[in-house]
Chains A and B, each alone.
Chain A
Amino acid sequence: MDAGQRLTDANFPEHPEKATLEGKNKFLGFWLFLGGETVLFATLFGTYLGLRHMNMDGPSTEELFKLPTVFLATMLLLTSSLTSVYAVLALKQNRVRTLQKWFIITLILGLGFLGLEVYEFMEYVHEGHTFTSSAFGSAFYTLVGFHGGHVAFGCLWIITLLIRNWNRGITLVNAPKYYLFALYWHFVDVVWVFIFTVVYLMGKVG
C-alpha cells in the first residue's frame, strides 16, 4: 500500500503512527529528543533556582507574581493538553474532521496562553523587573521565555500541519506527524507544571 494514501476504516491499523518504519523511527527519535529537552529545561531550572533571590533593587518574587493570571494561564495550557488527547483519540478512530476540530481548539488555547504570558511580561517590565535588571530577571525571562518559545513553535507547527493536510484524511505519513505534535504539546505542558510550581508557587511561599 502507498503510505501517502488516505486510510479507510477497513485498512486502518491499530497504531497508524507506528505502522511504517519511518513512523517507528520518528516516534522513537522524538521521545529521545524530548529526553534531551528535559535536560535542557533542567539546566534552566537549576540556573533559576540559583539566582531567584538575586533581584537586587527590583521587586522580589513575592511582590511580583500575581497568581490569578498565572493560574488562568495554567488552566488554559492544561486544558489544551486535554483537547490534544481528544485529537489523538480521533486519530486512532480515523475521524479526521474531529481531529482537526480538537487541534484547532488546542491551538486557540495555546495562543490564549501566549497572550497572557506577553501581558504578564509587560506588567513585570512596568514594575522594573526586566531581562537586564538583575540576575533574577535574566534567569526568569530565559526559563519562562524558553517555554513560551516552545509554545509559539508548537502553534506554528500545528497550523502548518493542519493547513497542509486539511483535505487529505489520515494517512500513514501524516499520522505520525499529528501524534508527535501531541507528544510535544504534552511535554511543553509538563514543563509548565514545573514552572508553575518552581517559579510561581515557590516564589510566593518559598
Chain B
Amino acid sequence: MSTHASHKKRSGLMDWLTTVDHKKIGILYLIAGGFFFIIGGLEAMFMRIQLFKPENDFVAAETFNQLLTMHGTTMIFFAAMPLIFAFMNAVVPLQIGARDVAFPFVNALGFWLFFFGGVLLNLSWLLGGAPDAGWTAYAPLSTTSEGSGVDFYVLGLQISGAGTLVGGINFLVTIINMRAPGMTFMRMPLFTWTAFVTSGLILFAFPPLTIGLFMLMFERVFDANFFNPDNGGNILIWEHIFWIFGHPEVYILILPSFGAISEVVATFSRKRLFGYSAMVFATVLIGFLGFMVWVHHMFTVGLGPVANSIFAVATMAIAVPTGVKIFNWLFTMWGGKIVFSTAMLWAVGFIPTFVMGGVTGVMLAIPSADYQFHDSYFVVAHFHYVIVGGVILGLFAGLYYWYPRMFNRVLNETLGKIHFWTFFIGFHLTFFPQHFLGLMGMPRRVFTYLSGQDLDQLNFISTIGAFLMAIGTIVLFVNVIISTSKKYAPSSDPWHGRTLEWAIPYPTPEYNFAQTPLVRGLDAFWIEKAAGNKGMTPAEPVGDIHMPNPSILPLIMSIGLFVAAFGLIYDTMTVVVIGMAITFISMFFRSVIDDHGFHIHKEEVEEDLKGVKL
C-alpha cells in the first residue's frame, strides 16, 4: 500500500479549487465574504436612496421587501460570517502554533458549502424574485409568500449553515487538540479564545436553525402544517426556533470581533492586555448567557409578564461581562505607548460606538419600553450600532492588522485612514438619526413615508451618511488593489506583534512552523523578543512534516447539494436525486479512497530555513 504519496503540486485555478490549506481557505473566505459584502451594501444603498425623500418611487414596494430581506440575510450569513471565518482560518492555527486545522478536508468543505449557499440565494434575483419575508422569515409570511424567493432563502441558508457547523466543530477540535507545547488554555491569545467560544456557540446554535429551515422547507415544498393554524400548526414555533438560533448568532458574530480588538489594542498600546483572565471569563460568560435571552426578540408576542421579566433580566445581565471588556480595553490603553495606526483607529472608534449600541440594547431589554420601540427604526439603529459599529469595525481593525500576515503586504496607511474617517463619520450619520426616527414612530421595513411628519430631514441625513460609508468602502477596495502591485512588506513583524502568528517568516511557509514552537507564556512571541531571542525557541528538531493532500471532492459535494436545491425549488424530484447522488457518491469516494497525505522532507525544510526572512 502506498501510504505517503508524492507531493502533489497544483497551480493556478486548480490549486484554489482543491486547496485544504487553512491560509488559502482564509483568503477564499475573505474574497467571497468581501464580494457578498458589496452585494449587501448595494442593497442597502438602494434602500437608502428610496428613503431619501418622502413618497419616493426609486424602487417599488415589492422590490423594497426583497431588498431589505436580502440585505439582512446577505450581511449576516454571507458577509459577516465568512469574514469571521476568514480571520479564524488565517490566524487561529498560527496563534496556537499548529501546522493546520484538525480537519483540513472538512475546512475546505465548509468553505464551499457556504459559497454555494450564498450563490444559490443570490441567484434568486435573476430567477423570478428574491425572498421578501424579512431575514427572520416569520411564518405565516414566509410560508405563504408567493414565488420561489423564500425557497431560495431556505435552501441557501441550509447549505451554508451546514458549512458553518462543520467549520465550528473543526475549530473546536483544532484549539483543543493541536496547541503547541506550552500553549495552555490560559496562554491562548484572546482572538483564539473568542474563536473557540464562537465555535462552541455555532455548534449549539446552528442545529435549531437547520431544523427550523427543514420545517419551513417541508411546509413550502411538501405541504406540512407546522406553522399552519388552520391545520393545528403554531406560528410561534418558528419564532422560538429562529431566535434560539438567532440570538446566539449575534454573539457568534461579535465575539471574534472582540478578539480582534483585544489583539489590536494590546499590540498598538505596547502593553499586555489588561485583565486577560477577566477577558477570557467575560467571553465565556457572554457565550453562555447568549443562549438564554432569545425571548427578548418576542416581548410583544404576549408570553406574559413572568417570561418577559426573566428574559429581560437575563438580557441586562449580558451588559456586565461586556462592560468588563470595555473597561479592560480602556485600561490596556491607559498608560500605554499608543500608536494610532489604521487598525488602532478602528479599534478606538469601535469602543464608544459599541457602547452606544449596548446602551440601546439595555433600553430594548426593558419589556414595557420595548412595546414602544418594537419594530421601529429604533431597533434598526440599535442593531446596526452593534453589528456595523461592533462586528464590522472590529473586522476592519482585524483586516488592517492581519493583512500583512495573509498577503505578505501592508495596506496603505493614508488610504486606510481616509477609509476609517469616511466610514466612521458616515456610519454615525446614517444610524444615529435612525434612533430618533424610531422614537418619532417610523416603523422599520417600510418602503416609503409621507411628508409633513417630521421624518424628511433625518431620513435625508441618513442617506447622506450611507453614501459616505459607500465611499469609505470604495477607498478600501482601491487600497487592496494598490497593495497587490506592491512588493512584500519589509518585515514579517510589521506591528511589533506579541503573538505567534508574527513569529513566522515571509511568505508564510505551507507548513507554518518549520519546528513547532515552545510557548513560555502569554504573548509568546513578545516574551522571546524581550529575552533578546530572534525567534521562537523550537520544541522539536527539524524533521519530516506531514501534510494533507489537496482534494476536489469538497467542491463536488457542495455542487451536488446546490443542484439538489434547484430540484427542490422547482419541484423536480429527478434533479433532487441527481444532486444528492453527486454528494453521496463524493462522500463514498472520500470514505473508500485511502488518503494519507504526503511528507515534506527534512532536507526541503532545512533548505527553506536557510532562506528565511524575518
Contacts and interface: CB of A to CB of B under 8 A. Distances in A.
A51 B231 contact: no
A24 B240 CA distance: 36
Given A32-B172, A35-B204, A160-B592, A25 B103 contact: yes
B102 A25 contact: yes
Contacts of B207: 36-37, 39-40, 43
A36 B102 contact: no
Contacts of A139: 226
B177 A24 contact: yes
B232 A56 contact: yes
Contact of B203 (A36, A55, A56, A131): A36
A28 B225 CA distance: 38
A47 B237 contact: yes
A39 B202 CA distance: 11
Contact of A135 (B210, B233, B241): B233
A17 B263 CA distance: 38
A43 B241 contact: yes
Interface stretch (B215-223, B456-464, B492-500): B215-223
B586 interface: no
B591 interface: yes
A71 interface: no
B13 to A, nearest CB: 29
Contacts of A32: 169, 172-173, 203
A24 B103 CA distance: 11
Interface string A40-77: 10011011001100111000000000000000000000
Nearest to A136: B232
Question: By CB atoms of chain B within 10 A, which of A2, A28, A138, A173 has the most?
Answer: A138
A4 interface: yes
A29 B203 CA distance: 11
Nearest to B219: A138
Question: By CB atoms of chain B within 10 A, which of A32, A142, A161 has the most?
Answer: A32
Interface in B168-222: 169-170, 172-173, 176-178, 203-204, 206-208, 210-212, 214-215, 218-219, 222
Nearest to A35: B203
Contacts of B241: 43, 47
Given A136-B232, A142-B224, A173-B594, A4 B169 contact: no
A35 B200 CA distance: 10
A33 interface: yes
Interface string A171-204: 0010000000000000000000000000000000
A137 to B, nearest CB: 7
A24 B177 CA distance: 8
A interface, how many residues as a size bin? 35 or more
A35 B165 CA distance: 12
A79 B212 CA distance: 33
A118 interface: no
Interface in B534-564: none
B232 A54 contact: yes
B7 interface: no
Contact of A56 (B204, B208, B231): B231
A135 B102 contact: no
B245 to A, nearest CB: 9
Interface residues of B, number: 43
A8 interface: no
Interface of B: 1, 3, 102-103, 165, 169-170, 172-173, 176-178, 203-204, 206-208, 210-212, 214-215, 218-219, 222-226, 228, 231-234, 237, 240-241, 244, 588, 591-592, 594, 596
Contacts of B172: 28-29, 32
Contacts of A10: none
Contacts of A108: none
A189 B519 CA distance: 43
Contacts of B214: 142
Contacts of B215: 47, 138, 142
B103 A43 contact: no
B224 A138 contact: yes
17 contacts: A4-B3, A21-B177, A25-B173, A25-B177, A29-B169, A32-B203, A36-B204, A36-B206, A36-B207, A39-B204, A43-B208, A54-B225, A135-B226, A136-B232, A139-B226, A160-B588, A164-B591
B211 A47 contact: yes
Nearest to A58: B232
B232 A135 contact: yes
Given A28-B173, A138-B218, A160-B592, 20 more contacts: A3-B596, A4-B596, A25-B173, A28-B177, A29-B169, A36-B204, A40-B210, A43-B207, A43-B244, A44-B211, A47-B241, A56-B232, A131-B223, A131-B224, A132-B222, A134-B231, A138-B226, A142-B215, A164-B592, A173-B594
Interface string A6-37: 00000000000000010011001100110111
A29 B3 contact: no
Q: Which 6 A-B pairs have the closest CB atoms?
A: A54-B232, A135-B232, A40-B207, A138-B224, A25-B102, A43-B211
B204 A4 contact: no
B4 to A, nearest CB: 8
A36 B234 CA distance: 25
A62 B170 CA distance: 44
Contacts of A56: 231-232
A160 B585 CA distance: 12
A51 B169 contact: no
Given A2-B3, A132-B224, A135-B226, A54 B103 contact: no
Contacts of B208: 39-40, 43
Contacts of B178: 21, 25
Interface in A108-158: 131-139, 142
Nearest to B592: A164
Contacts of A5: 1
Nearest to A165: B592
A43 B232 CA distance: 18
Contacts of B177: 21, 24-25, 28
